[in-house]
Structure 1
């Protein structure tokens, strides 16, 4: 694009440290092994030579189905350094789901961790553009190549990219339909580092970054790659599925200074009784993905003795743009605007909502905004307009500029003709000691009227009584907001990014017993 500055995200995140004499700093720690920035740079060269050997050039896509280990940043940044567009995908998806998304992306090359080698044939069959499948340290005879076969780590050139050049795609998790490819440019990662990481977290080279969220989606990508590499810090990578017990051990062993989690994971750590001294090294905990209930925020801050910062970000904006801060946390809210971003609320007709504490649809603009969705012109026109991104979230803004999440556009409930926020009801229910997680949805009763229904996951060893939970709600909210049914479940269905799949809960209602 005319006027765009010369910039390559990979070179900025890695080469800069090597050139400035910081190549011996530890960039990545994974399962007890340390990798320096100079060593990471050589892995980028190795990827670049592999791509060249395979005939993959600037603008081509390479799909990545990789665990959180050194292979991920090597391929993600190595592709960027050559002007190739990496497309990281969820390791939680099935082979047919991966095949459909890879076909949509038009990727010619797929890179898999060995754990997903069995998906290779299905992916290749579903995605005809795929010419090559590379598997980390393993070969499926006749169909794939081994990453170990590529050994050239000699210096490779940096592609002539700008801040507006295509850099990477992230497929939005979505709750229905095929996910959309969100197209980001080379300036996007630096923008999140200069805003949220610098202005809110005050990151430094001494920080050690540990994230429950994986690298394959926006939140994890910032937490475990962009932010540490931007300042020459250390990313603590965990290639295994996260569990409370494993993270208690990992935090104690690796001593992160910044801990990134989801609200549900914080609740789970509280539920298992994580020892307070586990978090001695942590200077702040950051949550995103779902709204953090006030009670969980308060209890986790008491456990750690450090600030707990909830915020909101989207794949389209790449990371958090409204957040609580190190100096100011308001439990139950998303906080205040991150410097560098603008936000406003609009009603259904598109008019500005300016009255405090009045619900509206959240629109955001900022330097990390994506350039649209791949081959989704209608969806792009709806979500991206005049520099603003329509997030699909319903929010209020207080007189002192605190922003509070009420629900997604299609999750709001109209009970008795009055709008009800699922987040408000969930925050009340989760205060009960027998409740670990809760999701509230709207459903039609036998008379065709919408009513509030709560799905509750019990705390460890607890057996919540629906009548007791009903009394708990009666003391905390108006009658029209109270759940008319309370259903106890073992777990809540979630997307790969940790968002609750509420449509599945609504679909399940006809088959679940409940209490009225």
Structure 2
């Protein structure tokens, strides 16, 4: 008996490397500047050539579609070529934080089962013990293959590794003249994994699709930023962050604009020098860095060429928005995104900023506020609720974290873990993480509201408000404050400053002056460390270290 074959309809073929770089060359942008960096600049044609060679070199190492290539490297043209080269092959690019310890890196290599690790000269001393640890661990875990087969070094001699290693230049030479066609991935094929910061638990990889990259470019990039080919983008956040990879790769390459890359640790002085030299038109920062800029002595005209600023990672207080605009002359669009959503999904828009809010949903996204107890959707304004978001850029889940995936991804919705309220004008205001809200005297207090008041004081640089149990075991708001160098303001004065601008139940019961606040690699406040240290009577020293109480 003959059987008629069932017709197969193939999904849309879409590869993010083709969308971001080869499309630019095909549309006549080959001679346009794509990357500006300390070593010079690269055109789109030059980047395309490097991406093809990197893809062929990775293929020669045995990398196959959907296998992972991890990147532990500083921002550079080589990193861009490597990320896109992996996507070209249909492999999964996994950029990770360069602030990881050797032990942390070994854990992510084991978790991801990466086939190749690419690193740069600054980090080889951490990579060598990490690879050695991995090799030792896998001796009793042979079932975890495929596992790390090679290390590729950018700007460093590839020696003394526990696995085969080669230099980036050797990788490219091995790929030159070798056919490595663009893999016919689908829009839903895996392209990119981004590990969450893991501030309250072990890091987990959010898995993103090729199509999600196009989606964030066509929503936030084009409809909020209004990015155009003449723009130059400079991001304080690095390429291994979800925020940074959008700012410095996805958005500019989607329209033929240029990205300014700086591998060094961002300080106000270094950033000011880069801005003066390369004249970016779009500047991306985080609230902590904007605060540092305002506390610095860099010239007020430094950002004269910037037409638009953006902020994410944590809420931008209204006072920082006003001070940035008044001193440096550009407007900062505050928004909220997440690693799981790939980029910003709630944002203010140019010319219509509501200071102190995260703005409104980015076109293409929907948000809901839900009651924490019964899950019902909150429709009224000024009522706190758990924030949920829906949109096509949401991750498909967490790698090998089934239970965690089920809790966070609920149908088309992602539970963000943030508490928000909707304002009368349709904008949304951040109230804290769901477990950060403080119930003082039976009334909920938002830490961010108290922090915003303290930041209005001219001597306050940074602040964190947490709930600390009093003698009766009841939580009361307590503020840890970093003041500007040389300031003579005292703790009692800051309490009185809050008393004058906040309802009595919201004011901090104590203000403690500290030297620094602990942060994640993305610059977000590690509030749980502040809470733990203040609860135990300890204080915070530089780099967020905890030392004995005084």
Fold similarity call, TM over 0.5 = yes
Cα RMSD between the aligned structures? Answer: 1.5
Does 2:130 align with 1:109? no
Preserved contact between residue 68 and residue 115 of structure 2 (Cα < 8 Å): yes
Alignment partner, residue 343 of structure 1:
367
Q: How does 1:16-55 map to 2 (within 5 A)?
A: 16-31=23-38, 33-55=40-62
- Aligned to 2:184, the other structure's residue is in SS state coil
Moved more, 111-120 or 145-154: 145-154
Partner of 2:176: 153
1:56 to 52, 55, 63: 63
Residue 117 of structure 1 contacts residue 140 of structure 1 at CA under 8 Å; is this kept in 2?
no
TM superposition shift of 1:445: 1.8
1:198 to 197, 222, 225: 222
1:92-131 matches, within 5 Å, as 92-127=99-134, 128=138, 129-131=147-149
The unaligned stretches of length 5 or more in structure 1 are none
Structure 1 residue corresponding to 2:404, chosen from 379, 382, 391: 379
Partner of 2:461: helix, strand, or coil?
strand
After superposition, what is the alpha-carbon deviation per residue over 1:491-511, rounded to whole angstroms, capped at 9, x for unaligned?
Answer: 111111111111111121123
Q: Among residues 353, 358, 377, which one is paired with 1:352 in the alignment?
A: 377
Give yes or no for contact 1:90–1:216 (8 Å, CA) kept in 2: yes
Question: Structure 2 CA distance, aligned partners of 1:87 and 1:364?
Answer: 24
Q: What aligned pairs does 1:171-190 form with structure 2 within 5 A after superposition?
A: 171-190=195-214
1:250-277 deviation line (CA, Å, top 9, x unaligned): 1111100000000111111111133221
Find 1:431's aligned residue among 450, 453, 456: 456
Alignment of 1:197-346 (within 5 A): 197-346=221-370
CA displacement 1:367-420 (0-9 Å, x = unmatched): 211100001111110111110011000000012211000000111111111111
Equivalent residues of 1:42, 1:153 under 8 A apart: no
Asked if 1 retains the 8 angstrom alpha-carbon contact of 2:105 and 2:127, the reply is: no
Partner of 2:160: 141
Partner of 1:479, secondary structure, is coil
Superposed, 1:412-423 pairs within 5 Å as: 412-423=437-448
Q: CA 1:273/1:121 → structure 2, altered by over 3 Å: closer, same or farther?
A: closer
Q: Name the counterpart of 1:397.
A: 422
Match of 2:436 among 388, 411, 419: 411
Separation in 1, partners of 2:155, 2:519: 31
Contact 2:14 2:210 in 1 (8 A): yes
**Aligned position for 2:4:** none
Cα distance between partner residues in 1 of 2:224 and 2:10: 29
| 2:505 aligned counterpart, secondary structure | helix
Could you say which residue in structure 2 is the equivalent of 1:453?
Answer: 478
Partner Cα distance (1:305, 1:16) in 2: 35
Q: What is the count of residue pairs matched by the alignment?
A: 515
Separation (CA, whole Å) in 1 of partners of 2:250 and 2:39: 21
* Shift, 1:461, TM fit: 2.4
Matched-pair contact (CA < 8 Å) for 1:26–1:233:
yes
Q: Quick one: structure 1 residues 467 and 74, their matched pair in 2 at CA, closer, same or farther if it must change by over 3 Å?
A: same
> 2: CA distance between counterparts of 1:226 and 1:126?
34
Q: Assess if the C-alpha contact under 8 Å between 2:495 and 2:510 holds in 1.
A: no
Superposition deviation, residue 71 in structure 1 = 1.5
SS at 2:208 equivalent: strand
> Over residues 154-200 of structure 1, what are the superposed CA-to-partner deviations in whole Å (9 max), with x where a residue is unaligned?
36310010110000100011212211100000011110110001111
Change (3 A) 1:81 1:179: same
The alpha-carbon deviation at position 306 of structure 1 amounts to: 2.4
- Aligned partners of 1:335 and 1:4: how far apart in 2? 35
Alignment partners' CA distance in 1, 2:64 and 2:39: 35
Q: Does the 8 A contact of 2:132 with 2:161 survive in 1?
A: no
* Structure (1 or 2) with the larger CA radius of gyration: 2
Asked if the contact 1:182/1:370 (under 8 Å) is kept, the reply is yes
* Aligned twin of 2:3: none
Deviations 1:454-507 (A, max 9, x none): 111111322430011011000111111111121211211111111111111112
TM-score by length of 1: 0.97
TM-score, with length taken from structure 2: 0.91
Q: Give distance in 2, aligned partners of 1:63 and 1:454.
A: 39
Q: For 1:471, which of 469, 487, 496 is the aligned residue?
A: 496
Unmatched segments (≥5 aa) in structure 2: 1-7, 139-146, 541-548
Preserved contact between residue 397 and residue 405 of structure 2 (Cα < 8 Å): yes
**Contact 2:128–2:161 (CA<8 Å) still a contact in 1?**
no
Q: CA deviation at 1:35?
A: 0.4
* Aligned mates of 1:121, 1:402 — CA distance in 2: 49
Distance in 2 between the 1:4 and 1:511 partners?
A: 59
Question: Contact (CA 8 Å) 1:103, 1:126: kept in 2 or not?
Answer: no
Q: Is the 8 A contact 2:312 2:335 kept in 1?
A: yes
Q: Secondary structure at the match of 1:248?
A: helix
Q: Which moved more, 1:268-277 or 1:204-213?
A: 268-277
- Residues 31, 356 of structure 1: alpha-carbon distance in 2 compared, 3 angstrom cutoff: same
